[in-house]
Structure 1
Amino acid sequence: MNIKVVRGNPTPEELAAALAVVRVRAAAAAALPPGAPAPRDSWADPSRIAARRLPQPGPATWARTYWPG
């Protein structure tokens, strides 16, 4: 596996942090049994929004519809 810095001038600590993330993700993907679907990212999970109470009608409801928090 080759990693190439395309833009910027990262410090050795920043490169180590990025490499750690890549290695952990690669190890997690390798640990899945063959043919198993990849786990869903929690940020993209629609139930993250649906689990909360829907906003009540009002003048600023549109602004709170999908706002995290």
Structure 2
Amino acid sequence: MVVNLAIGFITPPLGINLFVAARVGEEPLETVTKGIVPFILVMILCLLLVTFISGFTMFLPTFLS
């Protein structure tokens, strides 16, 4: 859920962090949106790994017990 929410915070049209980054960097929203595309793709890949491969999700709990 946290990974999914992180993707939502940086994707338009409701990406709050996207608007903050555009304002702080004094760049147009379009420029910032184009710059985050590789990061969004990596985050979606990580979300798919965590969602569909239980070994990634359960590694730490099984390691510590």
Normalising by the residue count of structure 1, what TM-score does the alignment of the two structures yield? Answer: 0.37
Whose Rg is larger?
1
More relative contact order, 1 or 2 (CA 8 Å, 6+ apart): 2
Q: Between Structure 1 and Structure 2, which shows a larger proportion of helix residues?
A: 2
TM-score normalised over the length of structure 2 = 0.38
